[in-house]
Structure 1
Amino acid sequence: MEIEEMDTEALLAYFFDQSKKYKSSSLWCMYSKLKCMLRIKNDIDISRFSKLTAFLKNRSVGYLPEKSPVFSK
């Protein structure tokens, strides 16, 4: 097994576990933070992991964000 495949599977397992607790917008936020840190610290570009992005896109299907309350005068 190549290192990239192992990384993909580990990240898929992590995001699958997190998807039970968080909505898709939070998962995308985690993905963005993780992508930045892995690129800086380990020189790994997870944007090339097509299985991971496909998983996140699949979780986003049908998601409707909730409108946050806005203060009025």
Structure 2
Amino acid sequence: MEEAQKIGLKTCPFKSGFFISVPCDNPQAVAEEIKKDNLYLVALAKGVRFAPCAVSEEKCRKAPAIIKKALEALGEI
């Protein structure tokens, strides 16, 4: 969450748990775009879900930038 805040990545409110959700208009396309960077997210109805519990701390710190890059590439932000 710290890295997401640093780069201005909008997320749904998160205090604790296993998943972080990022709102977007075309979740399936975003999830597919992110696969190009070997990061796998679940497409939801109104966003994508990232599971920080399933990856290393290093990858957790890189994930927000990868997600933001995909959102930008698809014109989501």
Q: TM-score range with shorter-chain normalisation?
A: 0.3 to 0.5
TM-score by length of 1: 0.35
Q: Which structure's residues are more often strand, by fraction?
A: 2
TM-score by length of 2: 0.34
Greater C-alpha radius of gyration: 1
Q: Which structure's residues are more often helix, by fraction?
A: 1
